[in-house]
Amino acid sequence: MSLTSHSFTPRRRQVVLSLAALGSLGPGGLLAQPVMGTSTKPIRLVVPYAAGGPIDVTARWLAERVRDTLGTVVIDNRPGAGGNLGVDLVAKAAPDGHTIGISAVATHAINPWLFSKMPFDAARDFAPITQILRVPNVLVINTQTAERLDIRSFQDLITYARAHPGQLNYGSGGNGSAGHLAGEMFKKAAGIFAVHIPYNGGNPAQLALLSGQVDFNIDNLATAAPNIRAGKLKALAVTTAKRSNVLPDVPAMAEALPGLEIDTWWGLVAPAATPADVVQRLHQAFAAALNDPQTRARFAQLMAEPVVNTPAAFGEFMASERAKYEKVVKASGARVD
């Protein structure tokens, strides 16, 4: 039977209009709006690092907090290649809102300049959703070293280093690590020279500092805090633009070296072609979870501050971080492959 005007009964007209509406949802039809609470297909949140670390812990916490609005969110840990392996899965996933992932300062700001070949384009292959948090880094010195060299403040360290070029050294988790690059940025801003000693990971670098094998490190505040409290390490400065609420008596580097700001951060991204309305639903759900007082209290235990920004603002932030680290990585000469 042909679809002439007399064939459209009210019931048939309703069915046709409903089908037309589904077709207008964009690529993927029904899958173009998967992040509704009634969706039966879970959302996969790819964490490009091993289970148990701070990124994994925060991802799992947020996955529980968005369950009522987004449905089940399954954490998929895919460590490897400095985070590139897991992030590449997100870049190449179907852009239907069912796969999202963690972006971090390493994967989206440092690695593009550290690796000679990248499996994805950090600038073009992702749709930003929101930043999740930032964590202060802190410059710490071995307490005994500080006493021996009479270094009681961040300015004392700069003064000593300028007067004794090359006599101080600092450790990091390896060439191209966040600690290494933060050290290079500090050296350039302060006009000093200190010898970089790379270790195979953050824990060996911290042990080297505690044993006095190196003079200072720039480490994650959550990692350094127990030894600061125990008096084994002396905190001289935090790397954020302003002082940390966790260590209010410790100055920010920017107080002595204006413009020097080094945050550890991570956020959420989707594949680049994910529809804007789907990205917005994801943003709203995770923003609500991040603004929840329970989330703020939980993140405070990790020495972290939740950050909520719009998808556009997060995209601009990641672009500015890439530009910043391009100069730092190239100046350091660090390469992974």
| Strand-strand pairing, 99-104 and 43-47 | parallel
pLDDT tier at 26 (50, 70, 90 boundaries)?
A: very low
Whether 14 shows a pLDDT value over 80: the answer reads no
Of 154-158, 205-209, 240-244, 326-330, where does mean pLDDT reach its minimum?
Answer: 240-244
d(CA 294, CA 300): 10
Q: What is the pLDDT of residues 175-216, one digit of tens each?
A: 888 899 999 999 999 999 999 999 988 889 999 999 999 999
pLDDT tier at 21 (50, 70, 90 boundaries)?
A: very low
Written in H, E and C, the secondary structure of the chain is CCCCHHHCCHHHHHHHHHHHHHHCCCCCHHHHCCCCCCCCCCEEEEECCCCCCHHHHHHHHHHHHCHHHHCCEEEEECCCHHHHHHHHHHHCCCCCCCEEEEEEHHHHHHHHHHCCCCCCCCCCCEEEEEEEEEEEEEEEEEHHHHHHHCCCCHHHHHHHHHHCCCCCEEEECCCCCHHHHHHHHHHHHHCCCCEEEECCCHHHHHHHHHCCCCCEEEEEHHHHHHHHHCCCEEEEEECCCCCCCCCCCCCEHHHHCCCCCCEEEEEEEEECCCCHHHHHHHHHHHHHHHHCHHHHHHHHHCCCEECCCCHHHHHHHHHHHHHHHHHHHHHHCCCCC
Q: Which domains does the chain have, with CATH numbers?
A: 28-134+263-332 (3.40.190.150), 136-256 (3.40.190.10)
Which of 248, 243, 202 is CA-nearest to residue 224? 202
Instruction: Extract the tokens encoding 164.
Output: 């004794």
d(CA 337, CA 334): 10
Please give the pLDDT value at position 10: 43
Whether 156 shows a pLDDT value over 80: the answer reads yes
Whether 33 shows a pLDDT value over 70: the answer reads no
Whether 105 shows a pLDDT value over 80: the answer reads yes
Please give the pLDDT value at position 3: 36
| Mean pLDDT, residues 307-333 taken together | 94
d(CA 315, CA 331): 25
Whether 147 shows a pLDDT value over 50: the answer reads yes
Which of 64, 39, 21, 50 is CA-nearest to residue 289? 64
Please give the pLDDT value at position 24: 37
pTM score, two decimals? Answer: 0.81
d(CA 281, CA 201): 38
Q: What is the pLDDT of residues 47-69, one digit of tens each?
A: 999 998 889 999 999 999 999 99
Please give the pLDDT value at position 4: 37
d(CA 49, CA 41): 24
Please give the pLDDT value at position 241: 85
Instruction: Please report, to the nearest 10 degrees, the dihedral formed by the alpha carbons of residues 174, 177, 179, 184 taken in order.
Output: 100
Whether 287 shows a pLDDT value over 50: the answer reads yes
Please give the pLDDT value at position 39: 52
The burial class, CB within 10 Å (0-12 / 13-18 / 19+), for 213 is: middle
Q: Name the average pLDDT for the chain.
A: 88
